[in-house]
Structure 1
Amino acid sequence: MLSVAREQIIKEAQKSVFVSIQADETTDISTQTQLVLVLRYIDDKHSVQERFFEFIPLQSSTSESIATALKERLAAIIPEDQKSKLICQAYDGASVMRGANAGVQRKIKDEYPNAHYIHCYAHQLNLIMQQATSHISKVRIFFSDLGGFASFFSRSPKRTAVLAKMVAHRLPTSSNVRWNFHSRAVNTVFEHRQDLIQCFENIRDSGDFDPKTMREAGGMAMLLEHQDFKFFLELFHHIMPHVDLLYAKLQKKNIDAVHIKGNIQQFEQDIQIIRNSRHSMGEQSSGSLTAKRRRVLSSEDRQNVAEEICNTILGHTRERFSFTDHLVCATLLQGDRFEDHQGAFPEETLQSTLKAYKMLNGSKLKTELSLIYSKVEFRACCGAVDLFQLFMENNLQDVFSETVTLLKILITTPMTTAEAERCFSTLKRVKTFLRNTMTQERLNALAMLSMEKRLVCEMTDFNQKVIEKFAGLKERRAKFMFK
């Protein structure tokens, strides 16, 4: 079954004009390092596909070992004379993967010259938020305190029972890798702050708990009343929904660079609005005695901290999501800028695009883009996928052949390694503590049937091919093939 499904994926990938790969590694339940390989391409129905290909066991996590494993698989997928069709490689940004001189991306690019590197944008968003909150001591303390609430209740079923009775809501555990967990914690505490205060006071005053628990509960109740804590809770309650929205969009399979660029611009505008409204957020101030006793930030200090946090997010967003190098081509097909391009054609951006993708015909592409910029109906398209589908539905692929090629490049280029992360979720479901001795082939077969079940269902002759493959492996007593 595995070989039949894999052959179908290879067949689809070889039919497509461009192919890209996503790769990431994790350690399974038996402490074996597993490298997952995911292929992204446009199929013959003009739909974006991200296909799980294989879990590859690694003896070491060096760049040489990973690159060798990837090259072996790519050699079976992409013919020797079609190496130019590998258009992108996307990884999580670890130094062994992204190294410009000795990393995996460099070793792959040496053999596949068009395989430009993408640092997963979802991981970059996590790094932006970590950077925005790591260099300000007050903010670091806030998130440390925030994580303490979930930790307090998770250590005791008796405490959890009180939480369930009085708040009727679990507190999510914070995570340094997934910022949506921080967002859930912020939102939960913000929405149920008064209930949590009553819950902690009940634990402190009930007399049913040990002295240590009572002391901790009293401290938690005081923390929830602290002016600085309430200020940061409100600030991040305003910031986190925009981070969550961008994070969710980055997880979509049919996302493309053009669409992402528009979403990032919207994200910057939203953070800028929060930055500009910082004065109203810092106006609340406690009395002088309370401020002195609890060392509460002044209204001006709060405004400065809020401004610094927003400035850090904005600065790192512009730096990390700058869309330079090969991704600069996304600007050429951004619908909301077509009118601007009509007045002043982006010649410099076009030249950068032609430098990155030498297979494009520059003069023909410029002619096609000039025509596209002058037509109102193209401006409504949101992203490269929408524009590509418009061309396909109206049979314009021959008229705008170079633009369609550029769109295929943009669509095939993955902006995240989200699909690779989803493969790890399947790995944890398939290879469990009670099934940790299964062979690698069985693991890949079960993972393939789980993740690519739609592909299997769409192959009307799948069962027949499996029987033929099984019967042809060796001579058998039973007759599986009848003529």
Structure 2
Amino acid sequence: MSKVVTEHIVEEIGDSFYTVKMDGTRDPTGCENISIVLRFVDENYVIKERLLTIATAVAGDAKTLTQTLIDEIRKAALSTDKILSQVYDGASLMSGRHGGVQRLLQDELGREIPYVHCFNHQLHLVVVHAMSGERAIEDLFNICNVLYKFTQKPTVAAHYQGNTLKRLLEQRWTGHLATVQIILKSFQDIVELLRHVENSASFPADLRMEAAGLLSRILKPSFKFHTQIICKILSLLEPANRMMQSEEMDLQTAVQLVNTAKECVEALRTEKVFTEMWSECAQERADDTIHPGPTKRRRTLNTTLEDYVVEETVGVGTQENHQMTEKRRLFYSCIDAVTGEIARRFGERNSAFMEAIASLNPESSFFLEPEKVEPLLKLTGTTLVDAEFIVAKKLILKHVDSITPPEDGKWTLKNILGHLHTTLEAMPSVLTAFKLY
């Protein structure tokens, strides 16, 4: 069955150029299990991704992984000459400029094969690096993790009426988003659960103490404030993360998505947003409707101060102002960290290849300019014919202006190829450039 499926995939790819995507994980025996995915445009100009195989490597070094990749592609009767680009995560083993898989593959095949760091992985690193810079945010997720484990205990879970909390995974920040969303939505249910466990003698003493500790932490205004910050930022990044997992996503659109998400996060950076968030959290504490504070000890007047008068208080007001100042700093710091990481990780996209890809967008100011597209065609050894690009540009722009756009109101290369691929077959260099997009 595996052989039949592989043969069908090879038949689908045919003579098309393809992109290699590879990732691996080590099993308990120490062997490296490697998934090899190929992305290509089939004969009907449809973008497809296929899992070619899951190979096993006895070692996890770059040289072994590179050789395994080449061997599996050749074993499937595919030509390595048709590899257009390579996509991995950002680990030095894969992305290293001198000894990584991406470099060794190019050296082994003797030609340039551009490496693209997986955008979803980069977006994950943006969140991890940005959030890890603030101790308060790390503490928040530590509490969330403890809270998740607490609610999973059988004796506790039976009394919990809210939505089930999610387990936090270091490899997937979407779990962090799901966790803070559930906490905000089921906050009252969580409080009631902790209060019930704390005050019920039917639970063991250690469980009651754990509930009391968690309750004291989550009832602080700072906990809910930190939760709201994370929820707002991650919610704005989630659409880009989800859409970039689409099989039909391309680099140009992915860059636009990330930049749009960055602009949305930057829009949060206003005093109005901060004030609204902090006022809501502080008001809940002031109302003291959720959980009354502990009874204070009886106060007695110090006899040495009988002849003195206090004209104003400084303790409470100063403390509240200091707390608000710190939360304001944290609010702006988190936003700046995320937008800064996005700019750093996704800003290095002004290469010749990205310009070539951008030039294939009908909305680009340098649409189908031959000198812009040339670096892309060089990867496949395709001869660029200027006349074909001149004619194709006029034909496509005329078509776009005269025909009603698709349902989403925007022309894409997929839509253009769907309408004009028969005509573009008379312009092979242009058609090849579109298929490489």
| Structure (1/2) with the larger helix percentage | 1
Residue of structure 2 in register with 1:466 after alignment: none
Residue of structure 2 in register with 1:182 after alignment: 176
Distance verdict in 2 for CA 1:332–1:105, change over 3 Å: same
The structural deviation recorded for 1:406 is 2.1
Distance verdict in 2 for CA 1:61–1:281, change over 3 Å: farther
Matched position secondary structure for 1:252: coil
| 1:4-43 alignment, distance < 5 Å | 4-16=4-16, 18-28=17-27, 31-43=30-42
Residue of structure 1 in register with 2:350 after alignment: 324
Correspondence for 1:391 among 379, 404, 420: 420
Residue of structure 1 in register with 2:216 after alignment: 222
| 1:266-345 alignment, distance < 5 Å | 266-276=260-270, 278-281=273-276, 283-284=278-279, 285=282, 298-322=323-347, 323-325=349-351, 326-335=353-362, 337-338=363-364, 340-341=365-366
C-alpha separation in 1, matches of 2:335 and 2:233: 9
C-alpha separation in 2, matches of 1:260 and 1:232: 29
Distance verdict in 2 for CA 1:289–1:365, change over 3 Å: farther
Correspondence for 2:429 among 374, 384, 402: 402
Q: Which one scores higher on RCO, CA 8 angstroms, separation ≥ 6?
A: 1
Distance verdict in 2 for CA 1:93–1:390, change over 3 Å: farther
Identity across matched positions, percent: 18
The structural deviation recorded for 1:42 is 1.5
Preserved CA contact (<8 Å) 2:370 2:386: no
| 1:56 has 2:85 as partner | no
| 1:361 has 2:380 as partner | no
Residue of structure 1 in register with 2:289 after alignment: none
Preserved CA contact (<8 Å) 2:33 2:57: yes
C-alpha separation in 2, matches of 1:128 and 1:143: 16
The structural deviation recorded for 1:355 is 6.6
> With structure 2 as the length reference, what TM-score do the two structures score?
0.81
Amino acid in the other structure paired with 2:274 = H
Preserved CA contact (<8 Å) 2:383 2:429: yes
| 1:114-153 alignment, distance < 5 Å | 114-153=112-151
C-alpha separation in 2, matches of 1:368 and 1:125: 39
Residue of structure 2 in register with 1:92 after alignment: 89
Amino acid in the other structure paired with 1:298 = Q
| 1:435-474 alignment, distance < 5 Å | none
C-alpha separation in 1, matches of 2:171 and 2:382: 38
Matched position secondary structure for 2:424: coil
Deviates more, 1:68-77 or 1:104-113: 68-77
The structural deviation recorded for 1:402 is 3.5
Preserved CA contact (<8 Å) 1:257 1:384: no
Amino acid in the other structure paired with 1:385 = K
Q: Deviations over 1:311-340 (max 9, x none)?
A: 2211221222232332333322345x43x4
- Equivalent pairs counted in the alignment come to 396
Matched position secondary structure for 1:259: helix
Matched position secondary structure for 1:324: coil
Distance verdict in 2 for CA 1:39–1:160, change over 3 Å: same
Considering only CA atoms, is the larger Rg found in Structure 1 or Structure 2? 2
C-alpha separation in 1, matches of 2:387 and 2:381: 13
Instruction: Give unpaired runs (5+ residues) of structure 1.
Output: 411-483
Matched position secondary structure for 2:90: coil
C-alpha separation in 1, matches of 2:201 and 2:318: 32
Residue of structure 2 in register with 1:414 after alignment: none
Preserved CA contact (<8 Å) 2:86 2:113: yes
Instruction: Give unpaired runs (5+ residues) of structure 2.
Output: 287-313
Deviates more, 1:19-28 or 1:106-115: 106-115
The structural deviation recorded for 1:297 is 5.9
